[in-house]
Amino acid sequence: MSQTHLKPSASWEESRMNNILAPPSPNLARKLLATVPYRERLTACRLMEPVGVLQDSIRSLREAYLYLLPDARTLPAVHLPSLAEWVGEVLGDVELEEELQRIFCEAKSYVEACIHSCEQIEARILQARAVVGGVI
């Protein structure tokens, strides 16, 4: 993952100052940066013209970030409540799960929810990297 993509956006920082998550524990940080076993992956799709729907899976928080990253050529097709649940149950990050649920509930559109979820996941990845010293 390119380091240039992992910089919190100024607009997110300004609009979400009250919703900054506490840094994860070292154990949780390592889990957030790891790839989950095959059976624990989250099914997702990508809508791509002219091809149509491409099924895929998300195996890490990093992949969730990349999947939700805005791209003019495609639209991620991820059930956002399931993504939040996956983050809490599989990755063990209940705090991020609750924040993603809040984003989904408050967003005015699916695209807005994807953008803000992506930004929150990006911030969490940066926190996890800081906790483990950028090792993983």
Mean pLDDT by 10 residues, the chain (136 residues): 45 51 95 96 91 92 94 90 97 97 95 95 96 75
CA angle 95, 16, 87 (to 5 degrees): 25
Going edge to edge, which strands form the sheet with 42-48? Answer: 52-58, 42-48, 74-77
Q: Are 35 and 9 in contact (CB under 8 A)?
A: no
Residue indicated by tokens 């195996």: 59
- CB count within 10 Å of CB 65 equals 22
The predicted pLDDT at position 14 comes to 47
Q: What is the pLDDT of residue 110?
A: 93
Verdict on whether the full-model pTM lies above 0.85: no
**pLDDT at position 19:** 62
Q: Report the sign of the C-alpha dihedral through residues 31, 37, 39, 42, in that order.
A: positive
pLDDT value at residue 3: 43
What's the confidence (pLDDT) of residue 126? Answer: 95
Residue 73 has a pLDDT of 87
Q: State residue 52 phi and psi, 5-degree precision.
A: 110, -140
pLDDT of residue 61: 97
